[in-house]
Structures are given as C-alpha cells and as structure tokens.
Amino acid sequence: MIESVRAAFTLPDLRRRILFTIAMLVIYRLLANIPVPGVDLQAWLVFTSQRSGNSVVDFLDLLSGGAVSNFSVMAMGVYPYITASIIIQLLTPIIPQFEELQSEGESGRNKLNRYTYFLTVPLAFLQAVGQIRLVGASLTGGVESIMPNFGFTGANLLPTLTTLVAMVGGTMFAIWLGERITEDGVGQGISLIIFGGIVSRIFPNVAQMFTLETAAARIFSIITFLLYLVLTVLVIVIIQEGQRRIAVQYGRRVRGRKIYQGQSTYIPLKVNTAGMIPIIFAQSILTFFPLIAGLFVSGSGSVVDNIASAIGRFGTQQDVSTAPVAFTVYWVLYFILVVAFTFFYTDVMIRQQNLPETLQRQGGFIPGIRPGKRTENYIMSVVRRITLIGALFLGLIAVLPGIMAVIALVLQIPGLERSVLVISGSGLIIVVGVVVDTMRQLEAQLLMRHYEGFLKS
C-alpha cells in the first residue's frame, strides 16, 4: 500500500487530483470555524463544553461534520442536499415524469440532479430555522440565550434573515465544494466532506477520555475504545462488502449478422443496501416528536401537558441511573425504528431498479425461475432475507452507546460510555465506506497506468 501511495504521487495527473481534494477539504474545515452572524459564540461554547451526550446537538454535529460545535456557517453541512436526494429517490417510482427521466440515461439523471438542487434551497431555509429552534429547545434559556436577535417580527427580522442566508449560503458552498471534488479530485465529494468532519473530531474526543476522574476509568475507557474500534470496523467491512450473488443466464442472441452465445453472470445484492440512511431517518423521527411535544409542555399538570412531557422524556436520551424506564424505551424504540426503516428503504431502492423487467428486456433469466412476476417475487424474498442481517447490524450499531452506558453502570466505571462516543457507529459506517470507495477509485486510476492497486482480489 505504501508503494502504491508513492506511485500515486509520482503520477502528475493523479497527484494533482489528490492535492486538489485535500485543498478542498482544508477550505471546508476553515469555513467550519467561521461563526454564524448573530450568535453569541461565548454562550454557545460554554453550553457545548458542558453538555453530556446531548442527543440533539450530537446528531446535528455528526451530520454537519462537526460544524455545529462552533455554530459556523457550515452548521447544516450538506444534510439538506442529502434530504433532497432521498426525497427525489422516494418520489421517482411515484411520479411518472421522474421515472421517465431516470430511464433516459445520463441526461435524465442530470435533470433529476438539477431538481435536487432546486429542492435543496427551500429545505435548507426550513432546516436552518428548525435547527436553530431545535438547539434552542435544548438550552435552559431558550434560543434567546445564544441568539438574542432571532425572530421574524420587528427589528429582529433583518438579523434573522442575515443568519438564515449565511447558513443556507454555507450549505450551498459546501455542496459546490463536494461537486468540485467529485469532478476534479478523487472520491465522492459529498461523502468526503462528511468524512473530513467526522475524522477531525476523533483526536479531541480521545483527549477527553484522559480527563476522567480515576486512572482505572481512563485505562478501561481507552482499552474499550481500541477494542470497539477494531471489532466495529471489522464487522462493518464484512457487512458492507457482503453480498448475495443470484446467478443469471443469458440465451443466445442475434444482433445484426453476429450471434452471441449464451453467457452466465450474476446479480449482486448487498447485505446492507440502505447504508446509514435508516439511522438518519430514525434519529430524525426521535428528534422531531420531542421537539413538537416540547411546544405543549406548560407545567399545568393537564392531560395534554403530561402526554407532551412523557413524549419528551421517552423520546430523548436519559441517564440510565436516574431514569431507567425512559432510557430503555428510548433505545428500544431507536432499535425498532432503525430496523423498520432499513427494510422500508431497501425495498424502495430494489423496486426502483426494476431488475425483473431489465433482465427480461436483455434476454436474461434466473435458472429455475420463470421471468416476470415469479422472478420479482424470488428477488424480493432473497433481498428481505439478507436485509434482516443488515437491519440487525445497523440497529446494534445505533444502540451501542446505550449498551455501553448499561455496561458502565453494571461495572461501576463512570465515563466508560465515552469509548463509543469518540466516533459513533454511524460515523464509522461513513468513514469505512468513504475510505473503501476512495481506495477503489485510486486503484482504478493506478491500474489504468499499469500500477498495482491498493485492493487485491
């Protein structure tokens, strides 16, 4: 691998692409330290330095690549674009025009990408308002404690619009940086931007483990983190790269004056087709409902007030020692939502590919299975069986912090749960996926120039 890296830097074109990618990531990380206009940065930094596993802030910080910690102009990261992409993907089988565009090849996909950009802008404005309100709901003094001039009435209107425009502009600039990396650099730009933000938080989070009160807690936490890192990465690679290959046979075909003999190939069905999208869906649901319920909490003791308080208590992370019931409900609900969304999103993605029709059009068939509806039922049955493994895997990855909190309580080692908070399981899925994808792209570039690549079969 070291030799391959050296070979990559000796090739002028590949060296230029690598350096360009690094430069774009550096620019993004620099912008991630520019605060949003109108925010009381000192009050915000005091809150973030004192928070302990705040689910709202931690989740938004992951999606923004660490920019929420500084409440920077990149605080939303590229998440509005990801949301818009997911919406377009889910609407494609429903809207005939989108389905036609997808079948038109490159030109159709370019139009769908354009619609994604158009949808990103209003979503970014809505998310900017929602994110500020969401963070404000986590503060004791409300959003006014960090943004005293936020509001849509009177003299607060212009400062509020300035804040929103700065956040939306930061998101669109981050998307532009990602597109430049994809076109002129190495790897998928959007993924690399998120990857850079996640990796940048590892060393500060590791340093926090050395601040634990006792030496035993520090030693156990560091050892647990190393074991968690190695084992989790190993399992992620196995699951992410795992696939079920369905054999496909093509009959003899006549094209013009040429006769093509039948050949055998396969359809690769991944164990985890959904990636980390189900975790994002589940966390969004768990974050959204407590936020809405918080608007109805008045402290009056009425039925509505009690229901809203219960939703807020059971829909956010709780301390296992002080609120064991709410703690259990939260993590069990989180696990169920991740598993359910994994099946839902995988089903949508597989049906969207329309594999039976594509096989029939190209003259292919699965041996022993009739074309058409029988083939569709067979493929979906195989997909659901292997998706069960992927869904359970994602569910366990999502609830690892809760599991470690229980282990820390049982072993009486305070702070042990920080070992899995250095980099979350969902963050590790992104990191491993981006690294593998980037290495494959570098391998392809090297193989075109007759160099030995990073990955060997």
The pLDDT tens digits for 102-121 are: 777 778 888 888 899 999 99
Model confidence, pTM: 0.75
Q: In the β-sheet with 264-270, what is the strand arrangement from edge to edge?
A: 264-270, 243-250, 364-365
- For residue 134, give both structure tokens: 């969401």
Say how far apart CA 270 and CA 249 lie, in whole Å.
20
What residue type is assigned to position 278 of the chain?
P
Share the mean pLDDT of the chain: 79
Give the mean model confidence (pLDDT) for residues 150-168: 86
The pLDDT tens digits for 281-324 are: 787 777 667 666 666 666 666 777 777 777 766 656 666 777 78
Q: Which CATH class is domain 1-201?
A: mainly alpha
Give me the residue spans of the domains in the chain.
1-201, 213-422
pLDDT at residue 414 is higher than 50: yes
What residue type is assigned to position 321 of the chain?
S
DSSP reduced 3-state for 94: coil
Q: What is the pLDDT of residue 298?
A: 60
Percentage of the chain modeled with pLDDT above 90? 5
Name which of 22-26, 107-111, 161-165, 251-255 the model is least confident about.
Answer: 251-255
- For residue 161, give both structure tokens: 């619009």
Q: What is the pLDDT of residue 201?
A: 75
- For residue 363, give both structure tokens: 């003259």
Percentage of the chain modeled with pLDDT above 70? 81
Out of 215-224, 234-243, 309-318, 398-407, give the one with best mean pLDDT: 234-243
pLDDT at residue 245 is higher than 80: yes
Q: Which CATH class is domain 213-422?
A: mainly alpha
**Bridge-based pairing state of the strands 364-365 and 243-250:** antiparallel
Q: What's the distance, CA 279 to chain centroid?
A: 7
Predicted confidence band of residue 66 (pLDDT cuts 50, 70, 90): low
**Identical fold at 1-201 and 213-422?**
yes
Predicted confidence band of residue 45 (pLDDT cuts 50, 70, 90): confident
Say how far apart CA 197 and CA 65 lie, in whole Å.
4
pLDDT at residue 252 is higher than 50: yes
Say how far apart CA 19 and CA 7 lie, in whole Å.
14
* Distance spanning both ends of the chain, measured CA to CA: 14
Say how far apart CA 16 and CA 219 lie, in whole Å.
43
Predicted confidence band of residue 253 (pLDDT cuts 50, 70, 90): low
Q: What is the pLDDT of residue 53?
A: 47
Give the mean model confidence (pLDDT) for residues 49-57: 55
- Which residues, listed in sequence order, are joined to residue 269 by a DSSP beta bridge? 244
Give the mean model confidence (pLDDT) for residues 253-263: 63
Q: Which among 186, 171, 176 is positioned nearest to 21, based on CA atoms?
A: 186
Give the mean model confidence (pLDDT) for residues 193-214: 78
